[in-house]
């Protein structure tokens, strides 16, 4: 499959990515990640290995799109996801506290 990462065209295949990542130790995941085999790799690490470019030259979105098109599972960071906002009713309920005990 042909994809463009950092303005350069690459012919990537699922088997080629698996072969490139064989023997590579995963770094700690702090953001988006790709599951390759049984390992979870940071997207930027995978992009660096398969393109042989510096991580600053491409975005994680470019690599994520390519990996999804090749059939790999990509995950976003749970820590990077913004907290879910409360509705006005939920916010008011939390400010008022729980219901008073019955019989008082």
Tally the domains of the chain.
1
Do the domain assignments include residue 90? Answer: no
- Residues 76/42, Cβ–Cβ less than 8 Å: no
The two most distant CA atoms of the chain are separated, in Å, by: 73
Q: Which one, of 78, 15, 3, lies nearest residue 47 by Cα?
A: 3
Q: What is the mean pLDDT of residues 32-44?
A: 93
User: Cα angle vertex 69, ends 15, 36, to 5°?
Assistant: 45
Do the domain assignments include residue 81? Answer: no
Do the domain assignments include residue 33? Answer: yes
Task: Determine the structural domain holding residue 39 and report its residue range.
Answer: 2-76
Do the domain assignments include residue 88? Answer: no
Residue 21: its pLDDT value, please? Answer: 94
Do the domain assignments include residue 62? Answer: yes
Do the domain assignments include residue 92? Answer: no
Q: Which one, of 36, 37, 78, lies nearest residue 45 by Cα?
A: 36
88: left (phi over 0), alpha (psi -120 to 50) or beta: alpha
Express each pLDDT in 67-78 by its tens digit. Answer: 999 999 999 876
Do the domain assignments include residue 98? Answer: no
Do the domain assignments include residue 97? Answer: no
Residue 91: its pLDDT value, please? Answer: 79
Q: What percent of the chain has pLDDT over 90?
A: 61
Distance CA 78, CA 81 (A): 5
Question: For tokens 């400010």, what's the residue?
Answer: 95
pLDDT over 60 at 79, yes or no = no
């Amino acid at each position: 499959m042909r994809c463009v990462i950092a303005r350069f065209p690459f012919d990537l295949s699922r088997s080629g990515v698996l072969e490139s990542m064989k023997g590579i130790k995963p770094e700690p995941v702090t953001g988006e990640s790709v599951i390759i085999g049984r390992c979870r790799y940071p997207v930027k690490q995978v992009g660096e290995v398969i393109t042989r470019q510096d991580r600053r030259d491409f975005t994680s979105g470019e690599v994520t799109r390519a990996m999804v098109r090749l059939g790999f599972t990509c995950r976003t960071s749970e820590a990077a996801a913004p907290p879910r906002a409360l509705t006005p009713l939920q916010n008011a309920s939390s400010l008022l506290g729980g219901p008073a005990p019955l019989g008082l």
